[in-house]
Amino acid sequence: MSRVKTLQSLFKRYRRPGDIVFAWVVLIVAVFLLSQLLSQTQWKSGGKLFAQPRFWPGLSLILMTSFAALHLFGSALSERLEGRWREIGLWIASIEYALWFVVYAIAVPYAGYLPTTFAFAILLVLRAGYRSVRALFWAGVSAIVIVLLFKTFLQVKLPAGQIYDSLPDGLRQIMLNYF
């Protein structure tokens, strides 16, 4: 006996809240990217098809647009579920953490890697709702460990903070090299 009774049950689609909004956004982005293909890529005459700079991006964007249109079509035909705006609210709220990262990346060249990482670790722990001294302590310890791991041990080249310029020469050199 077969597990799949009918072809329709094989391709049954379960719609989620916010699915139609997601489908529209993906389709709009795909069409926009496809519209930019001719101005952003080139076609070299005499070259092989698969070696053309425009071929693989074009194929990818055509498939992306096609699948986005199919997703929108399937989403429009599925039954509507409640909770669309609550789901979109969660999407927008999650953008906050990307903005935290952008502010962090902007602050590092000014304040330095160690102070910025330490401050943002504490701020993000507070933002997440942890208020205990223990949580704040471990956030600070983890920030210091992260700085030591990346800057000192792995020697990742990061921009030096302008605040380090105000330190005495010996300490400034240590901070520039290791923190």
The per-residue pLDDT for range 37-78, each reduced to its tens digit, is: 988 887 788 778 787 888 899 999 999 999 999 988 888 877
- Residue 24 predicted with pLDDT over 90: yes
Q: How many CA atoms lie within 13 A of 113 on its CB side?
A: 21
Instruction: Name the helix (H) or strand (E) containing 102.
Output: helix 84-111
The per-residue pLDDT for range 120-178, each reduced to its tens digit, is: 999 999 999 999 999 999 999 999 999 999 988 898 888 888 888 888 888 877 877 77
Contact 37, 57 (CB under 8 A): yes
The per-residue pLDDT for range 149-159, each reduced to its tens digit, is: 998 889 888 88
Tokens 């240590």 belong to 174
Comparing 179 with 58, the larger pLDDT belongs to: 58
Average pLDDT value over all residues in the chain: 86
For 15: left if phi > 0, alpha if psi spans -120 to 50, otherwise beta; the answer is beta
123 Cβ contact partners less than 8 Å away, ≥ 6 residues apart: 100
Contact 120, 100 (CB under 8 A): yes
pLDDT band, residue 1 (cuts 50/70/90): very low
Q: At what angle do helices 113-127 and 84-111 cross, to 10 degrees?
A: 150
What is the reported pLDDT for 122? 96
The one-letter amino acid code at 40 reads Q
Domain ranges of the chain: 7-82, 94-178
Cα–Cα distance for residue pair 12/131, rounded to 1 Å: 46
pTM over 0.85: no
